[in-house]
Chain A
């Protein structure tokens, strides 16, 4: 069995009070509660404050390029479908630079998990608008305020029929831990958008701001009802729903590719050079 100490990594270089610290704590507890060992998980992260995440815990790690977490994560899973794969990205990382990959990962529906640390601003590059920054927010790069509408990742994911769509808030540790566990246990592409304050660069969407608005969806919400899920997804402003917004069970890609469906992972299948020799005969 693992314990919290098993997941102790480098000392985080995030700002004191950063929402990432809360996310990290919830993650480690979720791992311990799921009984997972560090080597049983591969985290793929990108670049941004969230990209540093795997260094602050212990697990197999591929800390790749900005925006490119999902292609790497999906291919790891295709090569080894016995490996649990978690992609960790930020809002700029996943919704900006990596938007096309996000769309196509939802379509592929591999059994992987995606956490997006969504603080509605660029932290690493010091405070420019991200795709989820509120309209009107003034930044160094947007002196007249953000002039267009923010991206709604939850609505986008429901529209794409993503297999698991949830929102958490770093300030609600118990709920977040549960959502992380549900996402990691879900069979299919599981997407968890985690609202978190950026104490240095987002003076609008503060800890207090989220605390006043976030509310957990109650038992009356049926995540299997896509229309109801879409209605919830459109709610963002005075009230922000958290919890599992949408869930649709469908076949995963690894269950549909004949080479690996119900078979050993690709990485464990033997390579026999002599099998390839036969291919040459067709050219005579």
Chain B
């Protein structure tokens, strides 16, 4: 089974609530879930949707076809009716939508009236809708009960009971009035023995799954990586990380400061890091433009800092709430002068969690800026995961604190060393002074003008460190055939859709995905000769959510490899599974 529910309507109508509850409910019931959102840059009105796909096997992208379309307004019916699958149905409330539709596959459910009748409050209409979905799918309300109890616990039992009554009434109505409903939902993930037991009514111990979006995963990875200070200025699609961190700041040793602008934000992150705490800033492409001078300050002063960039389709203000992967080369080349940097581009929440943690470790270990690149698609998509293991994130304090400093006779912030990494001391923790400068400086950190020191500092800061950092970068992930005739290459947030497309095509073809999530320093071939895989393939395709195939250009610059085919998409929307299959199908893979 593999169903998609799409909830469409205007901003402010509560479609996000319905989508979020359904997604969590399916995840808790043991299904694999994938959701994605599409919204306009406005708080009320317009046309938005939330798409929830759930299945009894692994999924990692959104599909074009919709099985249940919940229309909270007329526009949703007009826009998406054509997406219905053969068993697909539209569900709407003719009172809210102000239209009565004819047709077998359009089901009028009076959400508002049912809410009034069952709970005496029209505000419960969205809960009625959730109940109706479960009724149509033939699912029970046990897990919903659990969820509502948790969600509304603080509001008291009465609110929980009202919501439950509303959900039940919605489910009952749907069961009684949906002759057209033809959905078959299995309790997923059970072994044959468990299924027998389930059939006998003995147990229904489906495995619970985590449901996580990219934004939360970055925040959680930052926490696990020891982030203590986050400074930012709000900008879509990076604001979610700021809000996530702010919500944590009451519970953990973490300060979140909303800066007056992005220039202040990165300078604050650098200041806090200089003072001895791990720090981070986050922004979107336009805000990052303002941070660029600060980036080179981090490079010059060798101050560790993690920078989260949520790409948006730009130039200028661009397409604020849409998705694109068009800032890779910009982030790689931003800032004047030459210094090392680390770039991570996670492809799903799991990678976002571990790679954010790794970004902190590399930033601290090598005293360099480290980036996490995301986009609206990764930020908002929710995925089911079995578990995340915080122990897999390395946390080691590389800084010199009071104890170690007391033992030192001398200290120089920018001392020459074999690795180029100088000891990084906490200012004020001893009588040793910590001096650094945005001007070219000597080992003490004081400004200099001489050529000899300049050369030695560039060797130390850049040439010695860069190869050591490259050794820490993991090779790209090969998924599918180990000796593929066709290789589909991607980076960052296209991971899921490429993976699912490759799984689909792999049933008949020799094909694999090669996905890059640790992008810079560009991975070497020592651990895994991915270049050989590409060279042996008959057909290589690079899929990117941008107009100029930036990664393909980077690949050529770093390795000389040229792809046989470039696939691009730059309409501000993510690749849907069928779209990518169409693109690849043209070439007889």
Contact = CB atoms under 8 A, between A and B. Distances in A.
Contact of A78 (B28, B208, B229, B446): B229
Given A64-B438, A72-B270, A72-B274, A37 B431 contact: yes
Contact of A62 (B209, B268, B301, B432): B301
Contacts of B220: 276, 279-280
Contact of A79 (B209, B261, B272): B272
Interface in B213-259: 216, 220, 223-224, 226, 228-229, 231, 248-250, 252-255, 257, 259
A44 B438 CA distance: 11
Contacts of A44: 271
Contacts of A170: none
Interface stretch (B40-48, B120-128, B422-430): B422-430
A79 B447 contact: no
A73 B276 CA distance: 13
Given A55-B446, A259-B249, A283-B212, A83 B427 contact: yes
B81 interface: no
Given A62-B274, A80-B276, A284-B210, A72 B267 contact: yes
Given A75-B231, A79-B229, A259 B253 contact: yes
B228 A61 contact: no
Interface string B15-59: 000000000000010000000000000000000000000000000
Most buried by B among A42, A79, A83: A79
Contact of A10 (B28, B275, B446): B446
Given A65-B294, A76-B271, A79-B228, A280 B390 contact: yes
B416 to A, nearest CB: 19
Contacts of A52: 447
B264 interface: yes
Interface residues of B, number: 66
A47 B300 CA distance: 15
A71 interface: yes
B297 A64 contact: yes
B210 A76 contact: no
Instruction: Classify chain A: how many residues form its interface, as a range.
Output: 35 or more
Contacts of B231: 75
Interface in A19-41: 37-40
A255 interface: no
Contacts of A61: 433-437, 445
Contacts of B271: 44, 62, 71-76, 79
Contacts of A266: 228-229, 253, 255, 272, 277
Interface stretch (A99-107, A133-141, A186-194, A218-226): A99-107
Contacts of A63: 436-439, 447
A271 interface: yes
A101 B266 CA distance: 13
A273 B209 CA distance: 23
Given A65-B267, A74-B268, A78-B272, A103 B260 contact: yes
A175 interface: no
A248 interface: no
Nearest to B223: A276
A277 B387 CA distance: 11
Contact of B268 (A54, A75, A80): A75
A280 B257 CA distance: 24
A104 B265 CA distance: 12
Contacts of B443: none
Contacts of B254: 259
A181 interface: no
Contact of B263 (A54, A71, A73): A71
B216 A273 contact: no
B572 to A, nearest CB: 28
A275 interface: yes
Interface in A41-98: 42, 44, 47, 52, 54-55, 58-65, 68, 70-76, 78-80, 82-83
B211 interface: yes
A246 B36 CA distance: 55
B293 interface: yes
A257 interface: yes
A277 B447 contact: no
A258 interface: yes
A271 B433 contact: no
A99 to B, nearest CB: 10
Given A78-B229, A273-B395, A104 B260 contact: yes
25 contacts: A38-B431, A38-B433, A39-B430, A40-B428, A44-B271, A47-B438, A61-B434, A62-B271, A68-B263, A68-B267, A70-B264, A71-B265, A72-B274, A75-B269, A79-B229, A79-B279, A101-B264, A259-B249, A259-B250, A269-B228, A270-B253, A271-B253, A276-B223, A276-B390, A284-B210
